[in-house]
Copies of this chain bind each other. A is one copy, B any other.
Amino acid sequence: MPLRLDTGDAGFAAAFTALVDARREADEDVSRDVTAILRRVRAEGDAALADYTQRFDGHDLDRSGWAVTAAETRAALHSTPTDLRDALELAAARITAYHEKQKPQDSDGVDGAGVRLGARWTPVDAAGLYVPGGRAAYPSSLLMNVIPAKVAGVRRIAMVTPTPKGEINPLVLAAAQIVGIEEIWRVGGAQAVAALAYGTDHIRPVDVVTGPGNAWVAEAKRQLYGVVGIDMVAGPSEIVVVADGRNDPEWIAADLLSQSEHDPTSQSILFTDDAAFADAVAQAVDRQIPALSTHAVARTSWDANGAIILVPDLAEAMPLVDRLAPEHLELAVDDPDALFAQVRHAGSVFLGRMTPEAVGDYVAGPNHVLPTGRRARFSSGLSVLDFMKRTSFLGLDTGAIRAIGPAAVALAQAEGLPAHAASVALRLR
């Protein structure tokens, strides 16, 4: 049974705070293991990669091949059913179109003091993409990670993925072929992230590493943050649905379950102002679960982390939603904009009754790599900006340095930095 709360209950404030503070993230203490793996890959390079791959994935890289060949990716796309190929291509086109609009503008101008000031954006040289093996190898994730890098203008994209016993998900390869990835290494785990960051004889180093992974992969990225850029540390998926009583309870139940089925640690929360609707959704969830191939995960997640919260008015839900700062927020009402105007913290918002979160996972266009675990308070979904950096620039002439130089000299002297002061003062003579 999921949690049931009512803002009118005496214990509501404490119970809701407990819900907000509940950490669903595994506290697996893998940091020491990961430190050792990173150190060894840095020191031994490919030899360490080969050894870890034999140990963890059960294959010999020198026999199976270090890289997936171009023929393999071409063949994977060729053997993909037409409807799936079309769906991947539609998704790629729409994700590309959305991300094109994120490309930042350069600036360059001269201000009133005669100082030329500007900013120029450039792509990173190389991006590394981690793709998990097995069940969690999602072609949609590949598109969501690669396309922003491509739109940013990144010249080289290197993908790493574990291939347990040499096997690899053909739909992932098909997606790689569609977006034109030409470098795919059969390595996974913390060792693969280390190889991307430090480089080995086979794998040249990259500048940014993104992509989902297990606790070891996440910890490797965290430890290598600063050696390379990384996307945000990702936690369990979550959805908040704000719905009035005029929705079909079956639709809303399916929306809640679309998060619950991801992982036992996923979280689905419904806010509604209609007690009868809340009951109807709860019943629909229970009806739908047994039919899912993912029923065991969905059941565990919904019972352990699900919640239905009754509010007197949906507007009163919005400050509570802000405290949760959810990854996904559905506003299933006739006028979603009125509620959306009140939202300060959310990764992605789905407006209206006909916008299930799952369209955003695949084909709508916005990125599905989004901040989890209340991180929407300070971070954003993956974007073109994660694969670019900004160089500021300035230029002074004699007039400009006379206008602003003396203030720089005064401040440098006050901060006890005489060479700073001299570098300006010499030019003022």
A residues apposed to B, CB below 8 Å: 83-84, 86-88, 90-91, 94, 97-98, 101-102, 107, 111, 113, 115-117, 119, 122, 124-125, 135, 138-140, 171, 207-208, 222, 225-226, 228-229, 232-233, 248, 250-251, 254-255, 257-258, 260-262, 288, 291-294, 298, 336, 340, 343-352, 354-367, 370-371, 375-381, 383, 385, 389-398, 400-401, 404-408, 410-412, 414-424, 426-427
| 19 further A-B pairs in the complex, CB-CB below 8 A; given A254-B419, A365-B394 | A84-B414, A86-B407, A87-B408, A87-B411, A87-B414, A111-B365, A119-B366, A125-B344, A349-B393, A350-B395, A359-B394, A359-B404, A361-B408, A361-B420, A362-B407, A364-B404, A378-B389, A379-B389, A381-B390
A371, closest chain B residue (CB): B389
Number of this chain's copies in the assembly equals: 2
A415 partner residues in chain B, CB cutoff 8 A: 138-140, 171
A347 partner residues in chain B, CB cutoff 8 A: 391-392
With contact pairs A292-B418, A390-B380, A393-B348 given, residues A359 and B405 touching in the complex (Cβ less than 8 Å): yes
A207, closest chain B residue (CB): B378
A232 touches B226 (CB 8 A): yes
How many Å lie between the Cα of A200 and that of B379 in the bound state?
23
A94 partner residues in chain B, CB cutoff 8 A: 113, 404
> Which of B361, B378, B396 is in CB contact (< 8 Å) with A354?
B396
CB distance from A101 to the nearest CB of B (A): 6
B358 touches A423 (CB 8 A): yes
How many Å lie between the Cα of A361 and that of B226 in the bound state?
23
How many Å lie between the Cα of A385 and that of B208 in the bound state?
19
With contact pairs A135-B416, A139-B414 given, residues A107 and B117 touching in the complex (Cβ less than 8 Å): no
> Which of B288, B389, B401 is in CB contact (< 8 Å) with A422?
B288
A97 touches B84 (CB 8 A): no
> Which of B115, B138, B383, B410 is in CB contact (< 8 Å) with A390?
B383
How many Å lie between the Cα of A401 and that of B356 in the bound state?
9
A365 partner residues in chain B, CB cutoff 8 A: 111, 115, 117, 394
With contact pairs A117-B364, A378-B208 given, residues A416 and B294 touching in the complex (Cβ less than 8 Å): yes
B363 touches A404 (CB 8 A): yes
A117 partner residues in chain B, CB cutoff 8 A: 98, 364-366
A391 touches B419 (CB 8 A): no
Q: List 10 A-B contacts (CB under 8 A).
A: A84-B410, A94-B404, A229-B379, A258-B419, A261-B420, A345-B389, A359-B394, A359-B424, A365-B394, A381-B390
A407 partner residues in chain B, CB cutoff 8 A: 86-87, 90-91, 362-363
